[in-house]
Amino acid sequence: MRLVLLGPPGAGKGTQSARLQDKYKIPQLSTGDMLRAAVKAGTPIGLKAKAIMDAGGLVPDETVVGIIAERIDEPDAKGGFILDGFPRTVKQAEALAAILHAKHMDLDAVIELVVDDGALLARIEKRAQESIARGEAVRADDNPEAFKKRLESHHAQTAPVSAFYASKGALKAVDGMAPINDVSVAIERALHEGARVASATR
């Protein structure tokens, strides 16, 4: 099962990824975790990334893509993987397609958790108010203004990625505002539909 999970912050990707990991016994691959692991392991790409980060720079697409190409060759990813937080841009989506093609692999599905921005912001504001009422500091993740900026950044970057996969008939939209169990059921349904489409086109 090779899966890309898209969705804004607060959409529940972490919760659903954990359930999919448990069910299919496949790793969730986060670009941040992979970068740190490559740096720690001292791989050629990891050393390159470390030099860039130590200099205060942003790790370029080709380096991130190289780290993903290395990671999906590891034994625990042979049965599949969940990509969370990647691809963030159409350029990255195209690079991922090239990697998989070179390895004779396909994505089984691209699932987007669709959420209502207003409802998400209301949820964050409520949590912030509850923290203040208890006399606690508001967590960084629960700062409404910061969260709003993260949402805007996500939509600006990732909306074209959704369109890219939709144009290829690969995107499955799931209502991320539904109860957690309902979202899990909808994801399973989307995965099985995707598998049927893939087998019918081979």
Catalytic residues: 13, 88, 127, 139, 150
CA angle 118, 122, 127 (to 5 degrees): 150
189-73-8 Cα angle (round to 5) = 45
Helix (H, G, I), strand (E, B) or coil at 82: strand
**Residue 2: left if φ>0, alpha if ψ -120 to 50, beta else—which one?**
beta
CA–CA dist 57, 19 (Å, integer): 35
In Å, what is the CA distance from 77 to each residue of 82, 98, 109? Answer: 9, 18, 16
Strand ranges of the sheet holding 109-114, from the earlier edge strand across to the other edge = 28-30, 81-84, 2-6, 109-114, 171-175
